[in-house]
Amino acid sequence: MEKYNKIYSSYNVSEDIKPSQILSLVWKNFLPNSKILDLGCGQGIDSLFLAKNDFSVIAIDSSDVAVNQIKIKKDEFKLDNLELICGDINDFNIEKNKYQVIICRNVLNFLDKGKALKILNSLKDNIQKGSYIIIEIFTKDDPSFFSDNKFASYFEEQELLNIFSGYKIFYYLENIILDPGHPGFPGPHKHGVARIIAQK
Ligand SMILES: C[S@@+](CC[C@H](N)C(=O)[O-])C[C@H]1O[C@@H](n2cnc3c(N)ncnc32)[C@H](O)[C@@H]1O
């Protein structure tokens, strides 16, 4: 993705390898041999953290800049348990029963709604009972929804929660949050988010 190649080119991968806020809530519950898929991994904060903690991780992102940046860290830390794929998550086939954890944070809004829902259905269909799904998406409460710089799609109030009805909801947040800043938007700003950790 050109936009993200440009953004990541001016940001190094953080030297401090620590998990995203949502992953920090649950990763200690993962079984030691868990295979983990990180869809739209960005600069790999979760993938690198999990691989450093001995999980077997497959990380995919369409930004070759990000994937190459992660590769440098992978080599530095000798993480043979981290597989990197530069590609489109729409084309990635989620093998049935292969993953015990699937992470998809802040990426589905870049797809049109039909494609985002198709991926969510595929995650649900292809993981086995007991596996974790960790999703973060932007809702219509995101300030961008009312701007000229919209994402391709947004989620409605409670929509993510409803998608995972019947699952054990380990964590759910739907709110307007203050984001301290991230690559591409360094200053503090607000986001309308829904975040879920669901266990099948
Ligand atoms: C907002 S960043 C989120 C990165 C990471 N998940 C995180 O939360 O730190 C969105 C990422 O999605 C990637 N992306 C967008 N559309 C994609 C697609 N169709 N396939 C794979 N990656 C995609 C971008 O390259 C970018 O790295």
Annotate the chain with three-state secondary structure: CHHHHHHHHCCCCCCCCCCCHHHHCCHHHCCCCCEEEEECCCCCHHHHHHHHCCCEEEEEECCHHHHHHHHHHHHHCCCCCEEEEECCHHHCCCCCCCCCEEEEECCHHHCCHHHHHHHHHHHHHHCCCCCEEEEEEEECCCHHHHCCCCCCCCECCCHHHHHCCCCEEEEEEEEEEEECCECCECCCEEEEEEEEEEEC
**What pLDDT sits at residue 15?**
83
Q: Hey, whose CA ends up nearest to atom 13 of ligand 1?
A: 40
Q: Domains plus CATH for the chain?
A: 2-199 (3.40.50.150)
Statement: residue 173 has pLDDT above 80: yes
Q: Is 41 in the pocket of ligand 1 (CB under 6 A)?
A: yes
The pLDDT of residue 145 is above 70: yes
Distance 128 CA to ligand 1 centre (A): 25
With a 6 Å cutoff on the Cβ, whether 23 touches ligand 1 is no
To the nearest whole percent, how much of the chain has pLDDT over 70?
A: 100
pTM higher than 0.95, yes or no? yes
Question: For ligand 1, atom 19, which residue shows the shortest CA distance?
Answer: 88
pLDDT tens readout for residues 24-34: 999 999 999 99
Give percent above pLDDT 90 in the chain. 88
63 in ligand 1 pocket by Cβ < 6 Å?
A: yes
Pocket of ligand 1 contains residue 67 by CB under 6 Å = no
Tell whether ligand 1 has an atom less than 6 A from the beta carbon of residue 19: no
Q: Does the beta carbon of 105 lie inside 6 Å of ligand 1?
A: yes
When pLDDT is cut at 50, 70 and 90, the band that residue 1 belongs to is: low
Q: Which atom of ligand 1 is nearest to the CA of 105?
A: 6
Which of these ranges, 4-8, 65-69, 156-160, has the smallest mean pLDDT? 4-8
Q: What is the pLDDT of residue 13?
A: 84
pLDDT digits (tens, 9 = 90+) for 49-79: 999 999 999 999 999 999 999 999 999 999 9
pLDDT digits (tens, 9 = 90+) for 79-101: 999 999 999 999 999 999 999 99
Cβ of 21 below 6 Å from ligand 1: no
> Does ligand 1 have an atom closer than 6 angstroms to the CB of 195?
no
